[in-house]
Amino acid sequence: MLARSGRLGEAEIELATVVDARISVLGSDHPHTLTSRVALASVLAELGRLDDAEVELLAVLESQTRMLGAEHPVTLVSLNNLAVVLVRKALVQQGASFKASPGSASPGSPASSGA
């Protein structure tokens, strides 16, 4: 609910608390714990913390692969979520290198038109 209303920072804090509690009570491999970790990873990704989101999703994927198998539909959804984060990271890196490279002005801008 917090994430949907744009309160991502608050959502992150609440989800981190839920993840910690579920790990303590249910264990790190319990499906409810893993679901909360996926939700946390999603919020981290929305906050632009793609490295942190990747770490969470890798941990979830490792547990799901071990507990459910690599071909289980839930595992495959997590693999897809990880792929989305990795693509976003690549796009951010590509954009950063594009901005940093000399002569990378966009077409029509003063730097590219010789003006």
Between CA 68 and CA 115 the distance in angstroms is 61
What is the per-residue pLDDT across 67-111, written as a single tens digit (0 to 9) for each? Answer: 999 999 999 999 999 999 999 999 988 877 777 666 655 555 455
Backbone angles phi, psi at 112, to 5 degrees: -95, -15
The three-state secondary structure class of 64 is helix
**CATH number listed for the domain at residues 8-99:** 1.25.40.10
* Residue 14 one-letter amino acid: E
Between CA 5 and CA 8 the distance in angstroms is 8
Domain ranges, ordered by start, for the chain:
8-99
Higher pLDDT, 2 or 64: 64
What is the per-residue pLDDT across 34-64, written as a single tens digit (0 to 9) for each? Answer: 999 999 999 999 999 999 999 999 999 999 9
Kindly tell me if the per-residue pLDDT of 10 is higher than 80: yes
Higher pLDDT, 114 or 94: 94
